[in-house]
């Protein structure tokens, strides 16, 4: 059967008339604000080269592990979805066949944010008005494929159409940022900045860590075989990233462990890990120490620091060996912040000019740890609900569990954290709606006055991100 | 005072008119579907012998630890409730006195699912229309006692009246399934199947484990003093259970620990534990290894596997020593799935033809661990909210925290997990209502269209359980 | 801009008309019940001396770490808020400047319970009808300052105006309770009782523990260098506290660890810790053993026992070293109850005449551990949502997660746990409203009949606290 595709104007708003009306008014006031996207994973070459995006499967399925992990969970082999293998074993090449698989199984996404994001892209970007299904798969393919060839669907045109004020990508210190340079040189007005993600040269467990240090030495002219030289090299790259527009750093560690070793201890530890055969405990301690070092450099150079721990990466070893990283196999696990962050906070947590933004995959920490910490330490702010929790219910739980202890002003608005460029407006739209739903509840409960909620709606949709990330 | 006993047709539905109307429509479409009860603890002898159930206290109080744990928590001695002691010390024998105690304290159950289940049984099964209280205790006793003597209250008659399509009981591999054989031989059409629960011969800490192995040898003719013989004996009993109708196995371990040892390591470990004096760590490792072995056998024979870890059994040693197991003293504790299941998942998690159904007593794992795992691994599905969470609020949290990441189709519908036979329709009714409430919210939020919700309502109430359990 | 300050009569009630109407009716029936405040930290000297409270900053900012931790989290130095330093370094002395800082930053409290409590105090106690802001700061200061000088704002007058039936303060066993004696001697009818908080003489990590034992010996005439003498001294002080009106003890340990050592082991451990240089593990074990000893004494003398574990005290060492304890730096952390309480429960958990009230800062324990434990053990009851969770959303989660397993009658009503005397009516009002909201949901869901809810509303607002604390 073919269902109409309807994006109801009141979607996500409460059923009750009184609070729905309040939510509507709040949303009306923020829905057209420009998008601030301070943390994400779009590819800067899109905006540098401004070439057409590929076919529907390449654009919307292959790079989106939220989409293919769900299909995989129901027994659809990744090979049939065209996911490239590490050893080059052949996989499905026909994008129409891949697209049909998504269409045939679209019911699996009922109740998920992926469904909301995709429907919004289908409707708002490609003008489709029937639901994706086996029957409409071909119609969809044709429409999307042909639209993508038009100039108004080129990356820069979409960037402008999406009303993006600024977007941050994420790069390794070993990246030469050539695409960002191309954008800067091009005269195009779109603001695409980088963020400094040093895991490859901070994490002894990162693939190629020792080689990465050598490469870091080469790029910076610093001697990364010494602790002082290593720190100087990092300062050097931070400065370069900052010159290229970066306002933030980004740290994805397995845990929230931090350390505050003496200089001599830190140096000895560095010498051990930099030779490439340290213990797991050494690696963990080194990562922890480097968070504190990064925080100290942030006090110097003003870069905002983002920490998002707690993912068990590549949990499915079978998939990892065959297909590599980022295949939907990163699974959250329990994360302690209170003890883990204490060394870093003792060192720098009372600095009012430092901003450290914390993310979590473990929602139990919202009310127990993160809100109490961010509601006290001047250096701490809370990032939005993240990954699997970047969803209506996830956002509801975030506000319900965080606001009473940390307030609104220790949070930093929304970021989309995505490489799915087309879904960015949809993601911000969901966040704006859900924040308005929460504010509407506070107003209808008489905990907040409506004009305060209007101020807050704009803060949550726009101002807080801009301020926290210094954009 | 005597209050009327009213089962309001809109019970559990949202107060808001719009979503209440949607919930009503959805519920209307599923309320009369047959009951699939794939996991429970009813006694097969009831259906084999088809004799009248006992008196009200024996039927509704003594076997229901949800009921007597609440009374006990308020200082009512278990002896006064007629709970049998291990040493035969005398306890209350008069079922009328026991019944009066429940009646006098019925206010304790306000806001609990036990209250809902009991009221539904009182009203729908026994036709009572006043609330249970001190004043109405006698009326209740007389009515229930006299009804139970009628032919239409015999187990098979109730089974049919309850519209049960299939019910699974749970038996040890050492059970000869004679009651199931009697049912099969009887010509009665009711489908009562068994499930294979091998804890007594898999868990070195189970009472009588070594003797159980000897008994297993005797039953199967295999040499359970060797690893190969032990595995063969298990295969043998699985096959027997399957022939008798079983479609699933059931594993109640203290933690979710799994292991994937080499054959030699597994054999050595078996030799150690089978002698009966292994360490706690050995026992834990062996249980973990056996989950993986059971999963491998499930790939061979197609039995669906159920894992429900995380209970601290017999927490109250004083009660355990006096009254024995299953006296309401099993308390949930924190449970890790992400690290614990990794060895098993590495071995078999990518098998699309294997079904492992996970349960939890630790709700923090819903959004953090279980939904992300089930939303990725082909072999994993999520069982419904369970035990203390088999309740309206527990079901609400389950759907709110699981759906966005795992969708609906990585869940398996409802099971009642009960030995309280009369409450089975009430339990399924609560589940159907709460699933319709969740679907109604998605519809009224415009996240789902109403005809999709109608499909889902039937899937959650009937189709998913049937499919997942191969019934 | 100046906003009106409105305390809407329907605040915190649901938006839906049906359930709002039910909530209103329930609330109407309990809003004027006297306040039972069985656990708090008001200063008994206020009621003994009955002198005017200080200026607005001294009354409402300096002692309230919920207020100044939020300001501090946004970079406002504690010195500017007049928080006294340990070394006497000068801090802001001008209460008008301090007050202006709160006023200028009052938007930070949007959505927090502090905002609700403060607004209620401003409106109901001081008759203010515009919102606090930069513009109204002076108006506020003048009004509050002048009101505080009037006789009807003296502590005893406010106590009576607030309709407090009984309030408990908290004192160390080393306290001579002179203020309580003064109150008793004064002829004033207000009931201000003490609670026995023995941490200073039970916790080897408490500052001055060894000296405290010496002081305990001196006060009681017992030889606290022996285990028997130490226990006798504790019994002695409990008896004294009881004579002075105490009905409860209060235990704030870092974890819920309990122990049940043999007498010989306990004695040996005491001898070690009482010399002042035990290990961290010894200290933890001793605290755990002493909880069991206290429970045993409670069986003897009838004092109700309160346990509230799980706070990482003085997390911010920089603030602790400069400003000392209780500066908003106590952060909750993960807390296990199931294993930790088992030794104590094995010893005394089945005593129906013992009451142990458990609190938690880790909400994950509500449905997983605390409700199952309290729904079984006769000695256990659950305290209300606490500290950061003493808030509308915190209360909602408490009832939603606790009721179905523990019911209402294993909870003990509300306590305010505050030293902010003026906010006590506001805090009880929030609790009464939120309990009525929860009851209204059960009624509108048809899980409960309205007259049952009326009974429960009075129980939760008044009767349960009175009964559980034997007041």
Q: Where are the domains of chain A?
A: 17-53+153-468, 54-152
Q: Any bridge partners for residue B164, and if so which?
A: B35
Task: Identify all chain A residues contacting B374, using CB atoms and an 8 Å cutoff.
Answer: 73
Q: Closest Cα of chain B to A335: distance in Å?
A: 10
Q: Does B463 touch chain A if contact means CB atoms closer than 8 Å?
A: no
The set of residues, in sequence order, having a beta carbon less than 8 Å from that of A218 and lying 6+ positions away, is none
Q: Tokens 């002076």 sit at which residue?
A: C138
Q: Does B349 touch chain A if contact means CB atoms closer than 8 Å?
A: yes
Q: Does A392 touch chain B if contact means CB atoms closer than 8 Å?
A: yes
Q: Closest Cα of chain A to C112: distance in Å?
A: 4
Q: What is the pLDDT of residues B8-51, one digit of tens each?
A: 999 999 999 999 999 999 999 999 999 999 999 999 999 999 99
Q: Does A313 touch chain B if contact means CB atoms closer than 8 Å?
A: no
Q: Is A205 exposed, middle or buried (0-12, 13-18, 19+ CB in 10 A)?
A: middle
Measured between CA atoms, the residue of chain B closest to residue A8 is: B446
CATH C-level class of A54-152:
mainly alpha
Q: Is the predicted pLDDT of residue C118 greater than 90, yes or no?
A: yes
User: Which of 3.30.830.10, 1.10.340.70, 1.10.2020.10, 1.10.30.50 would CATH assign to domain C53-153?
Assistant: 1.10.2020.10
Closest Cβ–Cβ partner in B16, B378, B448 for A73: B378
pLDDT score, position B406: 98
Task: Identify all chain A residues contacting B441, using CB atoms and an 8 Å cutoff.
Answer: 15
CB A194 within 8 A of CB A244: yes
Q: What is the pLDDT of residues B71-104, one digit of tens each?
A: 999 999 999 999 999 999 999 999 999 999 999 9
Q: Is B413 left (phi over 0), alpha (psi -120 to 50) or beta?
A: left
Closest Cβ–Cβ partner in C16, C331, C362 for A373: C331
Which DSSP state fits C221? Answer: T
- How far apart are alpha carbons C277 and C205 in whole angstroms? 10
Q: Closest Cα of chain B to C409: distance in Å?
A: 6
Task: Identify all chain C residues contacting B15, using CB atoms and an 8 Å cutoff.
Answer: 14, 16, 18-19, 441, 444-445
Q: Mean pLDDT over residues C372-378, rounded? A: 98
The CA-based angle C103-C107-C111, given to 5 degrees, is 130
Chain C, 189 to 248: residues with Cβ < 8 Å from chain B are none
Q: Closest Cα of chain A to C359: distance in Å?
A: 14
Measured between CA atoms, the residue of chain B closest to residue C15 is: B16
pLDDT score, position A277: 81
Chain C interface test: which of B315, B330, B368 (most C C-beta within 10 Å):
B315
- How far apart are alpha carbons C260 and C294 in whole angstroms? 12
pLDDT score, position C174: 98
Q: Does B54 touch chain A if contact means CB atoms closer than 8 Å?
A: no
pLDDT score, position B110: 98
The set of residues, in sequence order, having a beta carbon less than 8 Å from that of B457 and lying 6+ positions away, is B26, B27, B29, B30, B432, B435, B436, B439
Q: What is the pLDDT of residues A336-348, one digit of tens each?
A: 999 999 999 999 9
Q: Closest Cα of chain B to C372: distance in Å?
A: 6
H or E, element range at C273: helix C263-274
- How far apart are alpha carbons A432 and C228 in whole angstroms? 65
Taking residue A463's Cβ as centre, other Cβ atoms within 10 Å add up to: 15
Q: Does A319 touch chain B if contact means CB atoms closer than 8 Å?
A: yes
Residue B267 dihedral angles phi and psi, to the nearest 5°: -60, -45
Q: Is the predicted pLDDT of residue B1 greater than 90, yes or no?
A: no
CB A425 within 8 A of CB A124: yes
Q: Any bridge partners for residue C22, and if so which?
A: none
pLDDT score, position A276: 87
- How far apart are alpha carbons C435 and C432 in whole angstroms? 5
Q: Which fold has domain B17-53+153-468?
A: TIM Barrel (3.20.20)
Taking residue B326's Cβ as centre, other Cβ atoms within 10 Å add up to: 14
Closest Cβ–Cβ partner in B6, B73, B317 for C375: B73
Chain A interface test: which of C315, C365, C430, C444 (most A C-beta within 10 Å):
C315
Task: Identify all chain A residues contacting B343, using CB atoms and an 8 Å cutoff.
Answer: none
Question: What ipTM was estimated for this complex?
Answer: 0.97
Measured between CA atoms, the residue of chain A closest to residue C68 is: A376
Closest CA to A395 of A415, A420, A372: A415
Task: Identify all chain B residues contacting C456, using CB atoms and an 8 Å cutoff.
Answer: 110
Chain-chain contact of A442 with C107 (C-beta, under 8 angstroms):
no
Closest Cβ–Cβ partner in B364, B374, B404 for A111: B404
- How far apart are alpha carbons C189 and C187 in whole angstroms? 6
Same fold flag, B17-53+153-468 and B54-152: no
Q: Closest Cα of chain A to B376: distance in Å?
A: 4
Task: Identify all chain B residues contacting C444, using CB atoms and an 8 Å cutoff.
Answer: 15
Q: Tokens 């011969």 sit at which residue?
A: B201
- DSSP per residue over A103-157, as a string? HHTGGGGTTSHHHHHHHHIIIIIT---B--STTTHHHHHHHHHHHHTSGGGSHHH
Q: Which fold has domain C17-52+162-468?
A: TIM Barrel (3.20.20)
Q: Closest Cα of chain B to C403: distance in Å?
A: 6
Q: Is the predicted pLDDT of residue B277 greater than 90, yes or no?
A: no
Chain-chain contact of A378 with C329 (C-beta, under 8 angstroms):
no
The CA-based angle C358-C360-C366, given to 5 degrees, is 90
Measured between CA atoms, the residue of chain B closest to residue C338 is: B333
Alpha helices, DSSP H only, in B302-388? 317-323, 342-348, 365, 371-374
Chain-chain contact of C350 with B319 (C-beta, under 8 angstroms):
yes
Chain-chain contact of C400 with B394 (C-beta, under 8 angstroms):
no
CB A44 within 8 A of CB A424: no
pLDDT score, position A121: 98
Q: What is the pLDDT of residues A74-130, one digit of tens each?
A: 999 999 999 999 999 999 999 999 999 999 999 999 999 999 999 999 999 999 999
Interface partners of chain C (CB pairs < 8 Å, 3 or more) are: A, B
The rounded Cα B403 to chain-centroid distance in angstroms is: 22
- How far apart are alpha carbons A117 and C301 in whole angstroms? 63
Q: Does A333 touch chain C if contact means CB atoms closer than 8 Å?
A: no
Q: What is the pLDDT of residues C52-95, one digit of tens each?
A: 999 999 999 999 999 999 999 999 999 999 999 999 999 999 99
User: For B303, what's the count of Cα atoms within 13 Å in the CB-facing half-sphere?
Assistant: 32
**B438: its two tokens:** 């969740």
Chain-chain contact of B349 with A318 (C-beta, under 8 angstroms):
yes
Chain C interface test: which of B110, B323, B386, B441 (most C C-beta within 10 Å):
B110
Task: Identify all chain A residues contacting C70, using CB atoms and an 8 Å cutoff.
Answer: 375, 407
Interface partners of chain B (CB pairs < 8 Å, 3 or more) are: A, C
Chain-chain contact of B372 with A107 (C-beta, under 8 angstroms):
no
- How far apart are alpha carbons A308 and A96 in whole angstroms? 37
pLDDT score, position C276: 87
Q: What is the pLDDT along chain A (471 residues), one digit of tens a residue?
A: 689 999 999 999 999 999 999 999 999 999 999 999 999 999 999 999 999 999 999 999 999 999 999 999 999 999 999 999 999 999 999 999 999 999 999 999 999 999 999 999 999 999 999 999 999 999 999 999 999 999 999 999 999 999 999 999 999 999 999 999 999 999 999 999 999 999 999 999 998 999 999 999 999 999 999 999 999 999 999 999 999 999 999 999 999 999 999 999 999 999 999 998 899 999 999 999 999 999 999 999 999 999 999 999 999 999 999 999 999 999 999 999 999 999 999 999 999 999 999 999 999 999 999 999 999 999 999 999 999 999 999 999 999 999 999 999 999 999 999 999 999 999 999 999 999 999 999 999 999 999 999 999 999 999 999 999 999
Closest Cβ–Cβ partner in A72, A110, A115 for B456: A110
Chain-chain contact of B336 with A331 (C-beta, under 8 angstroms):
no
Chain-chain contact of C110 with A408 (C-beta, under 8 angstroms):
yes
Task: Identify all chain C residues contacting A342, using CB atoms and an 8 Å cutoff.
Answer: 315
CB A238 within 8 A of CB A244: no
Q: Is the predicted pLDDT of residue C457 greater than 90, yes or no?
A: yes
Chain A, 1 to 30: residues with Cβ < 8 Å from chain C are 14, 16, 18-19
The SS3 of residue A381 is strand
pLDDT score, position B2: 86
CB A193 within 8 A of CB A169: yes
Q: Is B100 left (phi over 0), alpha (psi -120 to 50) or beta?
A: alpha
Alpha helices, DSSP H only, in B415-463? 424-444, 450-458
Chain-chain contact of C376 with B73 (C-beta, under 8 angstroms):
yes
Chain-chain contact of C376 with B329 (C-beta, under 8 angstroms):
yes
Chain-chain contact of A456 with C69 (C-beta, under 8 angstroms):
no
Measured between CA atoms, the residue of chain A closest to residue C361 is: A368
Q: Is C229 left (phi over 0), alpha (psi -120 to 50) or beta?
A: alpha
């Amino acid at each position: 059967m073919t269902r109409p595709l309807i994006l109801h104007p009141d979607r996500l708003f409460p059923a009750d008339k009184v609070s729905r009306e309040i939510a509507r008014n709040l949303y009306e006031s923020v829905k057209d604000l420009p998008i601030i996207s301070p943390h994400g994973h779009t590819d800067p070459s899109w905006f540098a080269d401004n070439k057409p995006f590929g076919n529907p499967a390449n654009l919307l399925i292959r790079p989106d592990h939220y989409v293919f992990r769900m299909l995989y969970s129901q027994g659809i082999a990744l090979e049939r979805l065209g996911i490239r293998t590490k050893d080059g074993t052949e996989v499905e090449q026909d994008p129409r066949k891949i697209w049909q698989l998504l269409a045939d199984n679209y019911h699996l996404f009922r109740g998920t944010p992926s469904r909301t994001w995709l429907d919004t892209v289908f409707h708002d970007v490609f003008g489709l008005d029937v639901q994706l299904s086996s029957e409409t798969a071909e119609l969809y393919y044709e429409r999307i494929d042909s639209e993508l060839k038009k100039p108004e669907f080129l990356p820069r045109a979409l960037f402008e159409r999406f009303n993006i004020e600024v977007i941050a990508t994420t790069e390794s210190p070993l990246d030469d940022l050539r695409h960002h340079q191309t954008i800067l040189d091009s005269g195009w007005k779109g603001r695409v900045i980088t963020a400094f993600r040093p895991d490859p040269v901070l994490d002894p467990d990162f693939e190629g860590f020792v080689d990465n240090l050598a490469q870091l030495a080469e790029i910076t002219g610093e001697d990364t075989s010494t602790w002082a030289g290593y720190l100087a090299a990092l300062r050097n790259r931070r400065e370069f990233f900052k010159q290229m527009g970066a306002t933030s750093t980004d740290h994805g560690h397995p845990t929230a462990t931090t350390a505050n070793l003496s200089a001599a201890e830190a140096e000895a530890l560095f010498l051990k890990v930099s030779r490439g055969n340290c213990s797991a405990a050494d690696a963990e301690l080194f990562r922890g120490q480097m968070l504190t070092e990064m925080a100290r450099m942030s006090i110097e150079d003003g870069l905002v620091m983002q920490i998002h721990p707690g993912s068990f990466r590549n949990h499915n070893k079978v998939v990892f060996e065959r297909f590599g990283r980022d295949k939907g196999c990163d699974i959250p696990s329990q994360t302690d912040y209170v003890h883990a962050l204490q060394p870093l906070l003792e060192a720098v947590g009372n600095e009012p000019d430092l901003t450290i933004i914390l993310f979590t995959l473990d929602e139990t920490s919202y009310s127990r740890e993160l809100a109490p910490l961010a509601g006290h330490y001047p250096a701490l702010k809370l990032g939005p609900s993240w990954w699997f929790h970047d969803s209506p219910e996830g956002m509801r739980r975030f506000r319900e569990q965080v606001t009473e202890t940390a307030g609104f002003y220790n949070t930093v608005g929304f970021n989309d954290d995505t490489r799915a460029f087309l879904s960015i407006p949809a993601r911000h739209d969901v966040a704006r709606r859900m924040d308005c739903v929460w504010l509407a509840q506070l107003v209808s409960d008489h905990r907040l006055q409506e004009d305060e909620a209007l101020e807050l709606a704009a803060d949550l949709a726009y101002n807080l991100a801009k301020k926290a990330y210094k954009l």
